[in-house]
Structure 1
Amino acid sequence: SRVEERKREGKETLCALMMDEVSIRKHVEYAAGKFHGYVDLGCGIVDDSLPPAKDALVLMVVAIDDSWKIPVAYFIIDGLIGEERANIIKECLLRLHAIGAR
């Protein structure tokens, strides 16, 4: 990875975490034995007890001292409260720090 390359060079990788919420069309379908279109926060629960999704929350890391950007996570949502959004950001930051990104 870019972070590991810079570590070998003795350099630190400085990044910014960007987040954007994009509207998507509400549409649920059943294909290949699975439902698609319901809220999915990555916890493995996807069934008709969840509301249909209307947004996609995308997190992207942008290098400050280099020229790259990488989408690192996305969640199919129907709105989030502040605490849920904060938990997602904290988890992403923890994982970035674990690989050496700052």
Structure 2
Amino acid sequence: MFDACLPHPNTLCNWYRSINAEPGFTGEAFDRLKEKTAKAKKEVIGAIIADEMSIRQQKIWTGKRYEGLIDMGLGNTDATNDIASQVYVIMLVGVNESFKIPIAYFFISSLTAEVKANLLKIALEKCHSVGIRVISLTFDG
């Protein structure tokens, strides 16, 4: 019934290839959020959710570089050959608007509380710079 409604899986893959989704803070997400705040008739209010999730530990050669290694989005994954066991995700959810968007993710094996605090401080600054007022932080751990 819905076969003709959805794009072909190859089309979906091509759409996702056009987005720079490297680990770190996602520039495209903040560009869309800036457009959203510019079009909004009222102040956009959001909530940040941060969580660590376990991932499969594997190292894969993609033809260009290795995937599955610890990567904080700094572009120096070749410096370490350690395999990531978790991903730390920071997501922004609209409180008075309808959106939920991951604004950053990092492949890690562990993070100290100080590093997490610094990442969240950067996330808050970036949200403020695009015009979003963050009113809450939620953690799973």
Query: Counterpart of 2:39?
Result: 5
Structure 1 gaps, min length 5 = none
Listed one character per residue, the Cα deviations across residues 42-87 of structure 1 (whole Å, up to 9, x for unaligned) are: 0111126242100111111111112211111111111100011111
Where in structure 2 are the equivalents of 1:1-102 lying within 5 Å?
1-6=35-40, 9=41, 11-47=42-78, 49-102=80-133
Contact 1:38–1:48, Cα closer than 8 Å, also in 2 = no
Aligned-pair RMSD on alpha carbons? Answer: 1.3
Query: What is the TM-score normalised by the length of structure 1?
Result: 0.89
Question: Quick one: percent identity of the two aligned structures?
Answer: 34
Q: Which has the higher helix share?
A: 2
Following superposition, the deviation at residue 20 of structure 1 comes to: 1.6
Aligned length: 99
- TM-score computed with the length of structure 2 as normaliser: 0.66
Segment of structure 1 superposing worse, 89-98 or 26-35: 26-35
Deviation at 1:35, TM superposition (A): 1.2
SS at match of 2:80: coil
User: What is the distance in 1 between the residues matched to 2:81 and 2:115?
Assistant: 16
Amino acid at match of 1:3: T
